[in-house]
Chains A and B, each alone.
Chain A
Amino acid sequence: MPKQAIALEAGRGPGPSLSLGRVLVYAALIAAAVFFLVPFFVMAITSVKSMEDIRTGHLISWPRQFTMEAWRKAWDSACIGVNCVGMKGYFWNSVRMVVPSVVLSTLIGAMNGYVFSKWRFPGSETFFSFLLLGCFIPFQVILLPMSLTLGKLGLAQSVQGLILVHTVYGLPFTTLFFRNFYVTIPDEIIKAAKIDGAGFFRILRRIVLPVSAPIFVVSIIWQTTQIWNDFLFGVVFSGSGSQPVTVALNNLVNTSTGVKEYNVDMAAAIIAGLPTLLVYIVSGKYFVRGLTAGAVKG
């Protein structure tokens, strides 16, 4: 923002002029931003109010006194069902589930994409289209067969089981990302490397992976967000020791003993949403760049 303001002041030349149309555009954008940010703002201020404050003030009034009490309680001691242990254990469950799932689905997706773009085999296009169908299968459809499978594998109600489900379910997307990115690497480069004596893995390691950073970012953001935010698989396939943070949040909010502690609910909700927000803020610009990389270079 400051940079643009300076440009407006200093550059009467090529900078954008402040015409009526532009004012309208800014007004509309600001209105939209406010519209989407207000709920988060309400969550944030409610989470730092005391219950007393919430009862006497109204929804968007500024907290009379800032307190992190609700945050500590949400993290440490809020009742989730009958266990009053806070969100922290479930938060780490989610981390233990998300990190391996994201790493595995991204690496396997990279390998799949490399094969489907640079080592095509008879029928590989058909194979790829079948894999893509996976993007369109609703979660609900696979609940029963998947729980049977997990049971047979002895992974029912475990974090490992959730890792398997999320890895498999993520593969159509990650494969699609990597395949579309690798299509933009000229085939002649792969041919040159083959003639230079490099094989499947050496070409992948020395030539393809080093240029893949943008699409890795896309895949990691996408998968982290999907898996961290998942509720359905989390509630169906987890056991008491392996529930992810989304399930815990639901149980926390629905636990009805005594007063409804809005500030704790809000703090817990922000805790549950924070990691995906952070991932996006840190690497969001690479996300956009990675998504458009193929389009620009192609």
Chain B
Amino acid sequence: MATLTISGIRKSFGAEEVLKGVSLSVASGEFLVLVGPSGCGKSTLLNLIAGLETANAGEIRIGDRVVNDVRPKDRDIAMVFQSYALYPNMNVRQNLAFGLETRRVPREQVRQTIERVANMLQIEELLERRPRQLSGGQRQRVAMGRALARDPAIFLFDEPLSNLDAKLRVEMRTEIKLLHQRIKTTIVYVTHDQIEALTLADRIAVMKDGVIHQFDTPQQVYDNPANLFVAGFIGSPSMNFIPCRLVEQGGNVGAVLDAGAGRSFFMPVPRPKADLHPWIGREVILGVRPEQIAAGFHEQESNPQIHPIECQVQVLEPTGPDTLVFVSINGREVTCRVSPKAARAPGENMKLMVDMSKALLFDPQSEQRIEA
């Protein structure tokens, strides 16, 4: 177990700078997820931590040791790759043993370690098989076993679930989380899947274009995204972004929403920490998650921040527990999550309740959050 501290890391490939000064720190035993769209630099950052690439500037510390010039094998890390990267000419047992043998671990100890790891991952009956005789899920387990056998200070996972089918991915996700709860080793996990990030992480670093846009707990990243990119990237279906004008009405500052057919609604925004008066009369972007627009809320009588709006339904997408209703507000398509019974047919008008207590405001120019 070890802490990981990264400060001011820069990395270029040729003229292209893929990491533009990245800093973060991971506590011992913490599960960090690096998430972002492809090309955001997350895998490069992981390779830098592993020592497979060299940074142009900045410092990487594992525990108290600066490891910039330490070779991968001496960094006390283990890595699980997206393609599993099992050695094709060795059986599972030899795959698990390879790293230990390279480090001249006594034979008896190697045997015990393999036994322990195989038992933990339930791959005992696969030990004599070659990688090509294994299914995707089994290969995934062996790849994790190879990392576990080494008992490193930090585990690095590079999109380990991307090659699995949807059902297996969910199962393995839970297993990885259970595994972490059991061994409590520091983990750095790279994924482009925001659901994996939310479900697994103690803390998430949301990256784009070589920059960390937000580094916080999953709940904070979801509830209080720092900017439009994070708000749109985290959460599925994505947050609705409605361009609107801020006005003052009866002492309340709020947004005017136009639902078409001459229907206009005033939505007071909750009192933010920041003073909104400079924004009155200006264009802002209102961010509302689909689940905050529903046919009704239990507490809608007592909660003064829930306001009605009436819209014409355009499309329905049933997902099972909820139905997604698409309406048009201020000329934008807006997704609402309603109970299947309450959903109205396309073309009909529907009364929706908007929970403004978690609504967010963004500056359309800088794309940053206005309050907070």
User: Residues on A close to B: CB < 8 A?
Assistant: 186, 188-189, 191-198, 202, 206-207, 210-211
Contact = CB atoms under 8 A, between A and B. Distances in A.
A113 B82 CA distance: 25
A196 B83 contact: no
A210 B51 CA distance: 26
Contact of B79 (A186, A191, A198): A191
B29 to A, nearest CB: 21
A191 B85 contact: yes
Given A186-B85, A188-B85, A207-B89, A195 B103 contact: no
A198 B89 contact: no
A18 to B, nearest CB: 38
B9 to A, nearest CB: 19
A194 B72 contact: yes
Contacts of B81: 188, 191-192
Interface residues of B, number: 22
A198 B99 CA distance: 8
B101 to A, nearest CB: 9
Nearest to A207: B87
Interface string B77-94: 111011101111100000
B77 A195 contact: yes
Contacts of A198: 73, 98, 102
B79 A197 contact: no
27 contacts: A186-B83, A188-B83, A188-B85, A189-B88, A191-B72, A191-B85, A192-B79, A192-B146, A194-B72, A194-B73, A195-B51, A195-B52, A195-B73, A195-B78, A196-B73, A196-B99, A196-B146, A197-B99, A197-B102, A197-B103, A198-B73, A198-B98, A198-B102, A202-B102, A206-B87, A207-B89, A211-B89
Nearest to A199: B73
A207 B87 CA distance: 7
B110 interface: no
A23 B276 CA distance: 87
Contact of B88 (A191, A196, A197, A211): A211
Nearest to B156: A195
A261 to B, nearest CB: 54
Interface string B55-76: 0000000000000000011000
Nearest to A196: B99
Nearest to A187: B85
